[in-house]
Structure 1
Amino acid sequence: MLPGCFSVQNVVPQPDGDSSKVKVKVRVNIHGIFSVSNASLIEKQKGEGEDMQIESEPMAQNEGREEEQTKMQVDHEGQSLGDQQNEDSTKEGVSGEKQDQSAGGSKPKVKVKSLDLPIVANNIRQLDSDVLINFVELERQMISQDKLVKEVNDAKNAVEEYVYDLREKLCGIYQKYISKEDSIRLTLMLDDTENWLYEDGEDQPKQVYEEKLDALKRFVQPIQERHRETENRPRAFEELGKKLQLYLKFVDSYKKKDVSFVHLNPEDVSTVEKCVTESMAWMNNKMNAQSKLAITQDPVVKVADIIAKIQELEDVCDPVINKPKPTVEEPPDVNDCGAHNGPTPKQEAEGKDTKPGMKEMEVD
């Protein structure tokens, strides 16, 4: 893509017909924008004097340009111009000496005059639609490629990390949960996988790394389960034992005619007692069977089975224990019913004492 078109104007040949020398200064700013900052025409003029002079006539249209951070100056034949000037001065000096010796006149000098030239810039601000579409598609492809490369690297790193982590755990927390034969076999698998990563597996598709990782996980899964079950099984059995003790205490309180449970149905309490007895027998059998197995063998009961038994026990016993007492309605009070609407006996007696025709006494 072109940065733009820059045209230097008013370039004319030398008065003697020779080609003119043009000095151009170009710059690239911190944003990578290219520009032509200055252009000047070097004009040679013959004259007399002691020293060679260089005059510059700056033009108004090139004044006030901002200084850029990064400058790149291209001097077209600047060095050759200086060499040519030196040669011309030397030749003219020699000829001048000859003239002085012969005629005794003054030796001619060369003046160099620098004239600033106008610059017309035509920057390209907008790309064609086809070019822009191609760039967008290229960017999309690059993003997709970067994403694929990242996924492949992540899959490869996952295999490598799993190998190192598993090797450390194999000598640590997993050591007592794996048999000697399986430990040797797993160690060989880890070594082979590590060597493969740095040799044939250096550059493989994502799916190949995922298959390697899945193969290791399938072999290690029973070891991880034995470790997890051994760590969590005691707490699960402890929780089941607490539930059984709670429900046994309830049955004992009911049999002792506790007033809190006299409203319960005996059949419901018998159901609770039966469920508690069966659950206790199940727990004792599983604990005895598990104690006979080696720690490197798969367990006969899992934590999930114990949690399911606790839930089954709660579903049977809790509705009976938490059954509310029936509400008893109190009989109505006899004194509150049968209200009189007529006059009371006292009012009737007072009415009889009043004689007809008597007027009320007025009191001043």
Structure 2
Amino acid sequence: MQVDQEGQSQGDQQNEENSSSSKEGAPGEKQDPAAGGSKPKVKVKSIDLPIMANNIRQLDSDVLNNFVDYERQMIIQDKLVKELNDAKNAVEEYVYDLRDKLCGVYEKYITEEDSNRLTLMLEDTENWLYEDGEDQPKQVYEEKLDALKRLGQPIQDRHREHEDRPRAFEELGKKLQLYMKFVDSYKQKDERYLHLSPEEMSTVEKCVNESMGWMNSKMNAQSKLAITQDPVVKVADIIAKIQEMEDVCNPVINRPMPTVEEAPEVNDQKSGAHNGPTAKQGAEGKGDAKGSQQTKPGTKEMEVD
């Protein structure tokens, strides 16, 4: 019996604790402010903070000028280094480019002996660049490049002239045919050129004949040379000859015919109106004649009276 009472009392205590905890944690329930659940009010106090400005210290003018001069010297030094590297790279690029073309497009424009000598020179220059020429002044690289170009530039010129010369001679031949046709038309009394004087046409014909003789002589001389030799006539010479011929012939060919002014037509009616009396004057003349005839009898009657 005692055990049952003790177990019942313990169960009653647990139920009371659970009920009290459920009341405290239930949401939406208001707590009694008298029970100590209200929060105290927070007081806010503003305080002015002092601000102190510190002036930024600047460099002296002498120190600043020294820094500017130092920067300028660095820029100049960078420029010199770039120019030095460009000069060195130019030599290296020319060596690689010319050596490749000697076995390609330039092969037929140079003799075998000259090609072997130039190839050996290119190899020596390449080895020098990676050994003694690794760090040399700019002038040394420029002298190396000039020495290579003295041998490589004539080959390049022969290749370019051989490619462009036929087109230049063809253009010169077209101009000669045009001017010769013009001279023939004048000799056949073409109406389009009758306004030109014989002296002008003689100048044109002389220029055409001289240009044709010059072209034939240069073409014959060039055909006798080997392709590995320098040309006797350059493309610039042919272009200059074309320009010279145009300066002489074009002003004569392009001169327009003089315009013929037509005489004004004479209107017979207008001329008659100016020379003879007008219709009004004729009517007035007839009226005067009738009036004179009417006054004559009156005069006779006056005489009878």
- The TM-score, its normalising length taken from structure 2, stands at 0.70
Amino acid in structure 2 at the alignment position of 1:303: V
Query: Deviation of residue 344 (structure 1)?
Result: 1.8
Alpha-carbon distance between aligned partners in 1 of 2:173 and 2:154, rounded to the nearest angstrom: 28
Q: Kindly, what percent of the aligned residue pairs are identical?
A: 81
Instruction: Look up the match of 2:73.
Output: 141
Q: Count the aligned residue pairs.
A: 237
Alpha-carbon distance between aligned partners in 1 of 2:231 and 2:166, rounded to the nearest angstrom: 13
- The TM-score, its normalising length taken from structure 1, stands at 0.60
The 1:337/1:211 distance shift into structure 2, 3 A limit, reads: farther
- 1:340 matched to 2:257? The reply is no
The 1:178/1:265 distance shift into structure 2, 3 A limit, reads: same
The 1:271/1:123 distance shift into structure 2, 3 A limit, reads: closer
- 1:233 matched to 2:165? The reply is yes
Deviations 1:181-232 (A, max 9, x none): 2111111111111111101100011111111111111221211111111111
Alpha-carbon distance between aligned partners in 1 of 2:101 and 2:55, rounded to the nearest angstrom: 65
Query: Which residues in structure 2 correspond to 1:121-200 (within 5 Å)?
Result: 125-200=57-132
Deviations 1:67-116 (A, max 9, x none): xxxxxxxxxxxxxxxxxxxxxxxxxxxxxxxxxxxxxxxxxxxxxxxxxx
Larger relative contact order (Cα-Cα within 8 Å, sequence gap ≥ 6)? 2
Instruction: Look up the match of 1:319.
Output: 251
Deviations 1:97-152 (A, max 9, x none): xxxxxxxxxxxxxxxxxxxxxxxxx9985334443333333222222222211111
The 1:133/1:328 distance shift into structure 2, 3 A limit, reads: closer
Query: Deviation of residue 304 (structure 1)?
Result: 1.2
- 1:247 matched to 2:182? The reply is no
* 2:92 aligned counterpart, secondary structure: helix
Amino acid in structure 2 at the alignment position of 1:163: V
* 2:192 aligned counterpart, secondary structure: coil
Alpha-carbon distance between aligned partners in 2 of 1:270 and 1:138, rounded to the nearest angstrom: 75
Of Structure 1 and Structure 2, which has the larger fraction of its residues in helix? 2
Amino acid in structure 2 at the alignment position of 1:287: M
Alpha-carbon distance between aligned partners in 2 of 1:252 and 1:341, rounded to the nearest angstrom: 55
Alpha-carbon distance between aligned partners in 2 of 1:134 and 1:331, rounded to the nearest angstrom: 91
Give the aligned CA root-mean-square deviation in angstroms. 2.5
Instruction: Look up the match of 2:286.
Output: 352
Of Structure 1 and Structure 2, which has the larger fraction of its residues in strand? 1
Query: Deviation of residue 339 (structure 1)?
Result: 5.6
Deviations 1:220-256 (A, max 9, x none): 1211111111111111100000001101111121122
Give the greater-gyration-radius structure (CA).
2
